[in-house]
Amino acid sequence: MKGGFALLAVLGYFITQARERIVEVFVPEAGYGGEDPVEFLFVSGVLGWAILVFFGLLFVFVLLFYISWRMHTFRITAEVVEVRSGVIFRVNRRARLDRIQGINIARPLFPRIFGAARLEINQAGNDANVKLEYLASGAADALRREILRLASGTRTEAVAVATATATATATATANATAVAAADVARADVARTNVASADVARADGARSDGARSDDRRSVDGRSDVSHSDVPRAVATRSLVDRRLGEFLVPELDPDAAEPTSVVKLSVGRLLGSIILSTGTFVLIGVTLTIIIVSIFAREALFGLIGFVPAVLGFGSVYVRRFTKSLRYTVAGTPDGVRVGFGLLSTTNETLPPGRIHSIAISQSIFWRPLGWWEVRVNRAGQSARHGAAGQQNTTILPVGNQAEVLRVLALMLPELAEGHSDAVRLIGQGLAARPTADDAYVTSPRRARPLRWFSQRRNGFAFAPEAVLLRRGAIWRSLVIVPQARVQSVSVRQGPLLRALRLASVHLHTVAGPIVAQLGALDRDDALEFFAHAETAAVLGSASDTTHRWRSAG
Partner 1 sequence: MSDRLELPAVTWRPISAKYLIAEFLGLLVTLLVALTLGVALIFTGWDAAPWILGVAVAVVLLYASLTPRRVRAIGYQLRDDDLLFRRGILFRRIVAVPYGRMQLVDINRGPLLRTLGLSDLRLVTAAASTGVAIPGLPEAEAEELRDHLVALAESRRAGI
Contact residues toward partner 1 (CB under 8 A) are 98-99, 124, 353, 356, 379, 484-495, 498-499, 501, 503, 506, 508-511, 515, 523, 526-527, 530, 534-535, 537-538, 541-542, 544, 546-547
CB closer to partner 1 out of 35 and 544: 544
What is the distance between the terminal CA atoms of the chain, rounded to a whole angstrom? 29
CB of residue 437 vs partner 1: minimum separation in angstroms? 30
Sheet holding 73-76, edge to edge: 73-76, 80-85, 91-96
- Residue 270: partners with Cβ closer than 8 Å, 6 or more residues away: 321
CB closer to partner 1 out of 50 and 533: 533
CB closer to partner 1 out of 231 and 498: 498
DSSP H or E run through 442: strand 441-442
CB closer to partner 1 out of 163 and 545: 545
* Contact yes or no for 317/271 (Cβ under 8 A): no
Q: How far apart are CA 179 and CA 104, in angstroms?
A: 28
Continuous H helices in 390-448: 401-411, 420-430
Q: How far apart are CA 56 and CA 60, in angstroms?
A: 6
* Contact yes or no for 317/311 (Cβ under 8 A): no
CB closer to partner 1 out of 107 and 547: 547
CB closer to partner 1 out of 286 and 517: 517
* Contact yes or no for 195/115 (Cβ under 8 A): yes
CB of residue 253 vs partner 1: minimum separation in angstroms? 32
CB closer to partner 1 out of 233 and 515: 515
CB of residue 309 vs partner 1: minimum separation in angstroms? 34
CB atoms within 10 A of CB 475: 14
CB closer to partner 1 out of 292 and 510: 510
CB closer to partner 1 out of 329 and 491: 491
Q: How far apart are CA 223 and CA 24, in angstroms?
A: 53
β-pair type (345-350, 466-471):
unpaired
Give the max Cα distance, the chain.
91
CB of residue 553 vs partner 1: minimum separation in angstroms? 18
CB of residue 550 vs partner 1: minimum separation in angstroms? 14
Sheet holding 476-482, edge to edge: 394-399, 372-378, 355-362, 476-482, 466-471, 459-463, 441-442
Reduce the DSSP state of residue 508 to 3 states and report it. Answer: strand
CB of residue 495 vs partner 1: minimum separation in angstroms? 5
* Contact yes or no for 80/95 (Cβ under 8 A): yes
CB of residue 425 vs partner 1: minimum separation in angstroms? 24
Per-position DSSP letters for 241-267, written without gaps between them: HHHHHHHS-SS-TTTS-GGG-EE--HH
Q: How far apart are CA 414 and CA 401, in angstroms?
A: 18
Q: Count the alpha carbons within 13 Å of 506 in the hemisphere toward its beta carbon.
A: 10
CB of residue 502 vs partner 1: minimum separation in angstroms? 9
Radius of gyration, alpha carbons of the chain: 28
Of 149, 104, 109, the C-alpha closest to 347 is 104
CB of residue 543 vs partner 1: minimum separation in angstroms? 9
CB of residue 519 vs partner 1: minimum separation in angstroms? 14
CB closer to partner 1 out of 340 and 460: 460
CB closer to partner 1 out of 274 and 511: 511
CB of residue 65 vs partner 1: minimum separation in angstroms? 37
CB of residue 541 vs partner 1: minimum separation in angstroms? 5
* Contact yes or no for 214/164 (Cβ under 8 A): no
Please, what's the b/e burial string for 306-334 (b: 16 or more CB within 10 A of its CB; e: otherwise)? eeeeeeeeeeebeebbebbbbbbbbbbbb
CB closer to partner 1 out of 356 and 470: 356
